[in-house]
Amino acid sequence: MSSEKIDAIHDKSSGQGVDGKISVSVQDAESQDVHINLGQPGQILKLDKTGLPLVPQPSDDPSDPLNFPQWLKIAILLQVSFLALLGPLNQATINPAFVPLAAHFHVSTVVASYQTTIAIAFAGIGSFVWVPLANTYGRRPLLLFTTLIAAASSLGSGKALTWSQLIATRVLNGLGTSSFFTLGAGMVSDTFFLHERGRAMGVFTVFLTNSAHIAPIPGGFLGQFVSYRWCYYLPAILDFTMFVVMFFCLPETLYLRGSTPVVTDKPILRRMKLWGLRPAGKHLKASDFFRQFIMFKYPTVLLTAFYYSVTFTLSSILPAVTSATLFRQLYKFNASQTGLALGLGTLVGSTLGELLGGIVVDRSMYLSRKGKKDGEIVPEVRLQGIWAGAILQPIGLLVWGFCIQYKTPYIGPTMGFGIMCFAIQIISTVVYSYNADCYRPQTPEIAQVLNFGRQTVGMTTGFWAIPLGTKIGFQWMAVTMSLVGIVTFLPVVYFMFHGKTIRDKMGAPSYNRSL
């Protein structure tokens, strides 16, 4: 970075605060676009490899997650990403095996899908408990605890002897896995700088999105050739395996900015403790369980979350909960064939979408900052990367609906799956990255809003999808749902041009600012 650019940044500093530290607000601090803490007076501004200021500025504490070596950051990203994959995997592995499940419990295949719907619903509720606890006691102990809940409840689902027992264990499984989506996103934000966050969030969301697409592949073969019970046993085994890996390999990333560094010659090893890392002065209060609802009042969070929830439901959950029934009726597919058709098509689409999504959003942010003298950061730049997903999502839905209605060869709806999942991966990466940039300290709460919306909207799919398509025709259902997706996208377009103004008027949340 040139001396002129550094001088320009320092010229915009707000001087010494009450703690004697110098800070820079690249934009209005109330908008929380960027608030760079420069540390003590005279401390050198830390830059990235392109010469732009690191955002956020890391402390001099070696146990600060921003100062972790890159290999450890990648290890953390892979662990929380795989954990995010296990969430929908717990819920969706059974989907291709609805026929044997329904036969065993003497219910219809539509009713059999309700146990997935219930798990999805409670996966949207549980995080309202886990996030406040994790913000006080740490991400690591909460993730370990909830992973054990997920493993035990999934094992219990496989052992269930009655329908009511199965439903009860699925409720517990949804509650346990709910932390995987929210706390994992918080750990990504804790660890990576702004210029890395888009790609890191892209990796996280590709695991999250692809989980429901991978799940039908083993689920179909297990349901057909072994037993539907193994569609629950497999996630239980993977949950427990992940618990062991995280116990030995996942450090705590909760860190209070401005806290006094703890003198130790093994800072990373210290972060592997299960307790004793609670930030000084941080105590759990009843109000902490209600603070997370504050994020619902911010239009940029609420409306982008609603658009994401609708498109995720139509692009990922809709194929997952309807394929077992429709592919059996139309193509006489067994469980393993349904799993392969659903899993491979969606997996290829999501993977290709991630190759485009994460790179594009990070590159657009870099070019935007590079072109400004003071390195000004406007998160709305991220939203420009959403166009490919927004255009392709309704196209894929229409391909799926018309192919189902007119009984084309199975490759038709499978191509529709792939297009939709290509689109939703781009949408997911952009929405997660944009909101994390707008309100970084509140990333877990934002992930909670996204998770709650996705799970709440998605849980309804099993109740209306096949009945609606049967009544009005799957082609008209696809047209209707495509129009719904386009309407919910309109606020996102508005935010591209006026999002900063809206955020400036709303101000920034007052809690978690030191995280």
What's the pLDDT at 26?
Answer: 40
pLDDT band for position 375 (50/70/90)?
Answer: low
Residue 341 has pLDDT above 60, yes or no: yes
Average of pLDDT values for 371-389? 75
Highest mean pLDDT, choosing among 93-97, 152-156, 287-291, 334-338: 152-156
Q: What is the helix (H) or strand (E) element at residue 345, kind and residue range?
A: helix 335-370
Q: What is the pLDDT of residues 489-515, one digit of tens each?
A: 999 999 999 999 999 999 888 777 666
Average of pLDDT values for 303-308? 95
pLDDT band for position 211 (50/70/90)?
Answer: confident
Q: What is the pLDDT of residues 80-92, one digit of tens each?
A: 999 999 998 998 8
- The set of residues, in sequence order, having a beta carbon less than 8 Å from that of 461 and lying 6+ positions away, is 117, 313, 317, 318, 321, 322
CA dist 309 → 9, 134, 301, 451, 458 (Å): 38, 24, 12, 8, 7
Residue 434 tokens read as 């944009």
What global pTM score does this model have? 0.73
Integer Cα distance of 288 and 12 in angstroms:
34
Count Cα atoms within 13 angstroms, Cβ side, for 251: 22
Highest mean pLDDT, choosing among 30-39, 194-203, 366-375: 194-203
Q: What is the pLDDT of residues 12-52, one digit of tens each?
A: 443 333 333 334 444 333 334 444 444 444 457 787 676 67
What percentage of the chain reaches a pLDDT higher than 70? 84
Average of pLDDT values for 392-414? 91
What's the pLDDT at 120?
Answer: 84
Burial class (CB in 10 A: 0-12, 13-18, 19+), 289: middle
What's the pLDDT at 484?
Answer: 95
Supply the mean pLDDT for the chain.
82
Residue 14 tokens read as 């707000």
For residue 245, give the nearest of 115, 152, 147 by alpha carbon: 147
What's the pLDDT at 362?
Answer: 63
For residue 506, give the nearest of 298, 296, 290 by alpha carbon: 298
What's the pLDDT at 128?
Answer: 85
For residue 507, give the nearest of 33, 35, 34, 30 by alpha carbon: 30
Residue 276 has pLDDT above 70, yes or no: no
What's the pLDDT at 200?
Answer: 87
pLDDT band for position 241 (50/70/90)?
Answer: very high
Count Cα atoms within 13 angstroms, Cβ side, for 12: 19
Integer Cα distance of 484 and 355 in angstroms:
27
- The set of residues, in sequence order, having a beta carbon less than 8 Å from that of 91 and lying 6+ positions away, is 116, 119, 120, 123, 173, 174, 177, 212, 215
Query: Which of 110-124, 149-163, 257-271, 493-507 is least confident?
Result: 257-271
* Block residue for tokens 């392109």: 50
pLDDT band for position 11 (50/70/90)?
Answer: very low
pLDDT band for position 256 (50/70/90)?
Answer: confident
Q: 496 versus 266: which is more confidently predicted?
A: 496
Angle at 346 between CA 341 and CA 347, to 5 degrees: 105
15 φ/ψ angles, rounded to the nearest 5 degrees: 80, -165
pLDDT band for position 1 (50/70/90)?
Answer: very low
Integer Cα distance of 407 and 473 in angstroms:
12
Integer Cα distance of 395 and 400 in angstroms:
9
Q: 490 versus 255: which is more confidently predicted?
A: 490
Q: 127 versus 396: which is more confidently predicted?
A: 396
User: Do you know the residue count of the chain?
Assistant: 515
The single-letter DSSP state of residue 274 is S
Q: What is the pLDDT of residues 466-493, one digit of tens each?
A: 889 999 999 999 999 999 999 999 999 9
What's the pLDDT at 301?
Answer: 93
Sketch out the chain's domains with CATH numbers: 1-57 (no CATH), 65-506 (1.20.1250.20)
DSSP string, 398-436: HHHHHHHHTT--THHHHHHHHHHHHHHHHHHHHHHHHHH
Q: What is the pLDDT of residues 140-194, one digit of tens each?
A: 999 999 999 999 999 999 999 999 999 999 999 999 999 998 898 889 988 988 7
Residue 242 tokens read as 């992940």
443-459 and 114-123 helices, crossing angle to 10°: 160
Query: Which of 33-47, 124-138, 183-197, 416-430 is least confident?
Result: 33-47
